[in-house]
Amino acid sequence: GAVVSQHPSWVICKSGTSVKIECRSLDFQATTMFWYRQFPKQSLMLMATSNEGSKATYEQGVEKDKFLINHASLTLSTLTVTSAHPEDSSFYICSATRRTGGSQPQHFGDGTRLSIL
């Protein structure tokens, strides 16, 4: 099956630090990638949709200057949490689809657990 790799899997850093998370599709070209946030025992919350070569589309309430998304190639999207604070601590998960348009299966990475001290 399709493989999506996310790195790092776990990061701990001090408040005020910026953290970059990478999401790679290893065996297919992902025209669209998604970034989610998940709090303990809760469902996934979509943060933004990332299309290769264009600006990301953010969901309502998500600060685009706080969560910078870059989708520079068909196999890589990055999420940078700028000037992270303890309230940004969460489980961040990316997903990717092979094709654009309509309803397509999403393939998820294994997530990045971010802890801000």
Partner 1 sequence: QQQVKQSPQSLIVQKGGISIINCAYENTAFDYFPWYQQFPGKGPALLIAIRPDVSEKKEGRFTISFNKSAKQFSLHIMDSQPGDSATYFCAPQGGSEKLVFGKGTKLTVNP
Binding site for partner 1 (CB under 8 A): 4, 6, 32, 34, 41-44, 46, 49, 93, 95, 97, 100-111, 113
Contacts of 113 (CB under 8 A, 6+ apart): 9, 10, 11, 91
| Closest approach of partner 1 to the CB of residue 87, in Å | 21
CA distance 39 to 24: 23
CB–CB of 67/81 below 8 Å?
A: yes
| Closest approach of partner 1 to the CB of residue 32, in Å | 6
| Closest approach of partner 1 to the CB of residue 88, in Å | 19
Q: Which amino acid is at 81?
A: V
Q: Which amino acid is at 101?
A: G
By C-beta, is 86 or 102 nearer to partner 1? Answer: 102
By C-beta, is 14 or 61 nearer to partner 1? Answer: 61
Strand 90-97 versus strand 107-108 pairing type: antiparallel
Could you tell me the two tokens for 51?
């299309």
By C-beta, is 82 or 113 nearer to partner 1? Answer: 113
Token look-up 């997530």 returns: 111
| Closest approach of partner 1 to the CB of residue 83, in Å | 26
By C-beta, is 42 or 115 nearer to partner 1? Answer: 42
